[in-house]
Structure 1
Amino acid sequence: MNKLEIACFNLESAVIAQQNGADRVELCDGIEVGGTTPNFEVTTKVRQLIDIDLNVMIRPSGGDFVYSNEEFKKMKSDILHFKSLKVNGFVFGILDENNKIDIERNTELVNLAKPFPCTFHRAFDEVVDYKQALEDVVSCRFSTILTSGTYSNVIDGIDVLKKLVSQAQNRITIMPGGGLRSTNINHIQEVTQATFYHSSAITDGSQIANPEEIFKLKSNLK
C-alpha cells in the first residue's frame, strides 16, 4: 500500500496522525509561512508520544529559500541538535539567487544528517527548470522530493508530477503535497503513480489535523 505523511504544526496533530493511520509525521512550526523549524521541546514530546516515523523541518525563516551564512549555520546546528532525539529524517531545501538548487549547501546538510534520510521540500516548486532541478536534488543524495509539481497545488501540477515520477525512475521518491485531500487523492494516484503522499489534513482553518480526513486519506491509498 502507498504511504501517507501528515504535516503537523503541534503535538496534538502528531498524535492524531498516528491514531488515524499516518505512516509518518513531518513536524513544523510557522504554519502561516508554510513551515519552519519546530521547537526542540515540542519535538522531544512528540518523539516520546508517537512511534511512527518523525521527520523534522529545518527552515530558519519564512519567505524565500535563499539563506544567509548565519541562517545556514543555524540549519547545521539544528540538524545536529535534532539528531540527538533519534528522529527519522529531515526536511529542507536551499536555492541559490537564480532559483536553482544550491548543490553545495544542500549536499553539506544531507551529509551532516547521515544516517538519516532527507526530503527536499516545496522549495522545489520555485525552480525554473524542474527537470534539471530533479537531477540536481538526486545528486545531493536526498531520498524524497515534496512537490506540488511547481504549481500552487497538486491538481494544477498533476501533469508535472506525473513527469517527475517517470523521470525519477525510482532513484528518488516523488511525494505529491500541497492541496492534497481525500477528495482528490485517488485521481492524483491514478495519474502520477506516486507511492508516498503528503497532506496537513487541516480542513477547518485551524492548526489541528482532522482525524477523519487522515483516516479517509489513508483509506483511499492503494
Structure 2
Amino acid sequence: MVLEVCAYNIASCIIAGKAGAGRIELCVNPLEGGITPSFGLIEYVAEYVPIPAFPMIRPRGGSYVYDTHELAIMKKDILRCRDMGCKGIATGIQLPDGRLDADNMKRLVEWAYPMQVTCHKAFDVTPDAFAALDVLIAAGVSRVLTSGLRKTALEGADLLRQLVATADGRIVIMPGGSVRSSNIAQLAAATGAVEFHSSGILSMAMGQVANEDEVRKMVNELK
C-alpha cells in the first residue's frame, strides 16, 4: 500500500521522504486548495527527496473551469515538468455544468505522457461520480484523488468502496480528505483502496508542515 503526502513546502517533502511515504503531491498555497508550485521547488525536491513528487498543475484557485489562456499555461507547465523528469502530475478540468471535461482531460494525458496523471479533487465537485470515473478511464488517467464526494474520506467510504469495485484495476482510487493514522486502517478495510492521500498536518501552528510521527504512523498502519 502507498501513502501519498500532500506537501505545500520543502519541509513537508523532506519529512515525507524520511518517514517512508511513497509519493508526494507537490503544490503551494493551501488557502486556495493548492496551485502549481515553482519550478525551483520542483527541481529542488527532485534533487534532495528520495521519493517521486507529482506537481499539481492548477494555474489558480477557484473553479476548475479554465479558459484557453489558462489551458495554454497548463500545457507549458506540464511540458516543463515532463522535461524536468517528473514521474507524474496532479490536475483536473471541469465543464461549466460541473462534469469533467473529457476532451481536455485527454489532452492533459497526451501532453503529460509518459508521466502518470492523477485527477485531483476536481472529481469531488462533479455531479455524477461514476460518469466522471468513466471519463478519467477513457482519458488514460492513472488515479483519482477523492473523498467520495463528501467532506472527508471516512464519510465517503461507501461510495469509495463502490468506486474501487467499479474501477476494477483500470484506475487507482486514492482516498483523501482528513486521512489520519487514527482512521487509515479503517478506511483501507472499508474501501479496498491500496493508495491513500494525507497532508500529515496536525497543527496549523506548525506552518502547514507535516508531522513526521504522524506520517510514519500512517505508513506503518498500511504495512
Return the TM-score normalized by structure 2: 0.97
> What is the rounded CA distance, in whole Å, between the counterparts of 1:196 and 1:4 in structure 2?
6
Moved >3 Å (runs of 4+): none
One-letter code aligned to 1:8: A
Give CA deviations for 1:38-91 in whole Å, capped at 9, x if unaligned: 011111111110121111100001111101111111100001111122111010
Give the structure 2 partner of residue 212 of structure 1. 213
Q: Give the CA deviation at 1:20.
A: 0.3
Corresponding residue SS for 1:175: strand
Alignment-mate amino acid for residue 93 of structure 1: G
Number of aligned pairs? 221
Aligned alpha-carbon RMSD (Å): 0.8
- Give the 5 Å matches for 1:72-151: 72-151=71-150
In structure 1, C-alpha distance between the alignment counterparts of 2:150 and 2:100, rounded to whole Å:
17
- Equivalent position of 1:10 in the other structure: 9
Amino acid at match of 1:188: L
Match of 2:54 in 1: 55
Q: Which amino acid aligns with 1:127?
A: T
Gaps of 5+ in 1: none
Q: In the alignment, which residue of structure 1 is the partner of 2:151?
A: 152
Residue identity matched to 2:35: T
Residues 157 and 187 of structure 2 are in contact (CA less than 8 Å); yes or no, is this contact kept in structure 1? yes
User: Which amino acid is 1:146 matched to?
Assistant: L
Distance 2:84 2:76 in 1: 14
SS in 2 for 1:51: coil
Q: Which residue of 2 aligns with 1:66?
A: 65
> Is contact 2:46–2:52 with CA below 8 Å preserved after alignment?
no
Identity of aligned residues (%): 38
Amino acid at match of 1:51: P
SS of structure 1 residue aligned to 2:144: strand
| Structure 2 SS opposite 1:216 | helix
Compute the displacement of 1:34 (Å): 1.2
Report the secondary structure of 1:166's partner residue: helix
The residue identity in structure 2 corresponding to 1:213 is: E
SS in 2 for 1:136: helix
SS at match of 2:152: coil
**In 2, Cα distance between the equivalents of 1:64 and 1:180?**
24
For 1:194 and 1:188, the matched residues in 2 are separated by: 8
Please name the residue that 2:199 is paired with. 200
Partner residue in 2 for 1:44: 43
Normalised by the length of structure 1, the TM-score is 0.98
| Alpha-carbon distance between aligned partners in 2 of 1:104 and 1:193, rounded to the nearest angstrom | 30
For residues 123 and 85 of structure 2, the distance between their equivalents in structure 1, rounded to whole angstroms, comes to 26
